[in-house]
Copies of this chain bind each other. A is one copy, B any other.
Amino acid sequence: MPTIRDVAHQAGVHPSTVSRVFSGKSKISEATRTRVLETAEQLGFQPNAIARSLSMQQTRTIAIVVPHIFQGFFQDDYFPQVMQGLLQVAYKHDYRILVGGSSGHADEITQLFDIVGSRQADGIVVLSNRLDVDVIGALHNQDLPFVLMGKPLENHDDVAWVDSQDAYYSGEVVRYLQQLGHRRIAYVGGDPDVLVSKERLLGYVRAMKQAGIEPLPEWIDYGFFAEDGGYQAVQRMSKLDQLAPTAYYAANDLMALGIIRALKQRNIRIPEQVSVVGTNNSVAAAHVHPTLTTLEVPYADMIAQAASLLLHSIHQGEMPTVQKSIDCRLVVRESTGPAPSE
């Protein structure tokens, strides 16, 4: 690989001149410019991005670490949407995305701090929403721009996030079902340790109690975002007989599909006997039978906004502090209907 010095030598100029030609931020006479460009072309020279990063103290890269916490993460619609939104704005600003893996929550934090501390990226979007005060504090101390996907548990007014108001919209789903006459409503969460599951549970419980219903512990279950998790939840809850739920709310569409599969297998008619609501409005939701009522969470938009404000503060050279709440939308389809008369 030819370096800037090779080109300089060949073209009979100083390396700094070659650098200036390529950065374009300095006056260079047309003559030398073309000469440099020609010899660069001839030598097949391209500036080394790593050297440039080191010198300029910027990588033109934003990072993300994907949680391996639950299997089926790549089957859910969440991940592709995240990548889409992220890539879209990164590309527009001529940035690239650095993706790191992880195996479980602790490792996710490790990877996060590894990337941040080693300055492998100019900023990072943090998906994990199980960060406690200490971790967020430590992250903030690293002084590398970051924005959280999801409002953290404790309030930090100096930390940026984009939030989908999971508790509120979870409540909206429950209220919608209650309006249809349902009283025995089940909640099937993802990973119980993940904040979004807790938030949705909170909204569920609150809405139930506001309707004067004390939800049975048996109505609350976790499917770890997997299709089979939804399936198993139905198997367990069906044992309740008369107390079995007449409506299921699942924290993602994948589990809702599993719920539908289990109900069909038991010859339970949807929505005449039991209603099902999913989350995310994945492509499949519109094509399953019956078509799935689902809470649409605009993840691609969310992360696009997160990335935008991240890039903005990178350019400003300061930590981002913007906090945004995003609205969701209930997409009503065939899988929900009036509660059966007792």
In whole angstroms, what is the CA distance A10 to B204 when docked?
Answer: 55
A1 at the interface (CB under 8 A from B): yes
Residues in B with CB closer than 8 Å to A87 are 66, 99, 101
Query: CB-defined interface of A74-90 with B at 8 Å, one 1/0 digit per residue?
Result: 11000111011001101
Known A-B contacts A50-B53, A287-B261; the reply to A74 vs B66 at CB < 8 A is: no
Most buried by B among A91, A98, A119, A282: A91
Complex contact B50–A117 (CB within 8 A): no
Residues in B with CB closer than 8 Å to A84 are 74
Residue in B101, B114, B143 whose beta carbon sits within 8 Å of that of A90 in the complex: B101
Complex contact A120–B74 (CB within 8 A): no
Q: How many residues of A contact B (CB 8 A)?
A: 54
A54 at the interface (CB under 8 A from B): yes
A16 at the interface (CB under 8 A from B): no
A333 at the interface (CB under 8 A from B): no
Query: CB-defined interface of A35-68 with B at 8 Å, one 1/0 digit per residue?
Result: 0000000001011111111100001010000101
Give A78's nearest chain B residue, CB to CB.
B80
Complex contact B119–A91 (CB within 8 A): no
Instruction: List residues of A (122-143) whose CB comes within 8 Å of B's CBs.
Output: 141, 143
Residues in B with CB closer than 8 Å to A261 are 287
A97 at the interface (CB under 8 A from B): yes
Number of this chain's copies in the complex:
2
In whole angstroms, what is the CA distance A131 to B141 when docked?
Answer: 46
Give A1's nearest chain B residue, CB to CB.
B119
Give A68's nearest chain B residue, CB to CB.
B91
A103 at the interface (CB under 8 A from B): yes
In whole angstroms, what is the CA distance A114 to B284 when docked?
Answer: 37
In whole angstroms, what is the CA distance A261 to B283 when docked?
Answer: 13
Chain A residues within CB distance 8 Å of chain B:
1, 44, 46-54, 59, 61, 66, 68, 74-75, 79-81, 83-84, 87-88, 90-91, 96-103, 114-115, 117-120, 141, 143, 227, 254, 257, 260-261, 282-284, 287-289, 300
22 inter-chain pairs at a CB distance below 8 angstroms, sorted by A residue, are: A47-B118, A48-B54, A48-B118, A49-B118, A50-B59, A51-B54, A74-B300, A75-B283, A87-B101, A88-B101, A91-B103, A96-B101, A97-B98, A97-B100, A227-B283, A254-B283, A257-B283, A260-B287, A282-B284, A283-B284, A288-B288, A289-B289
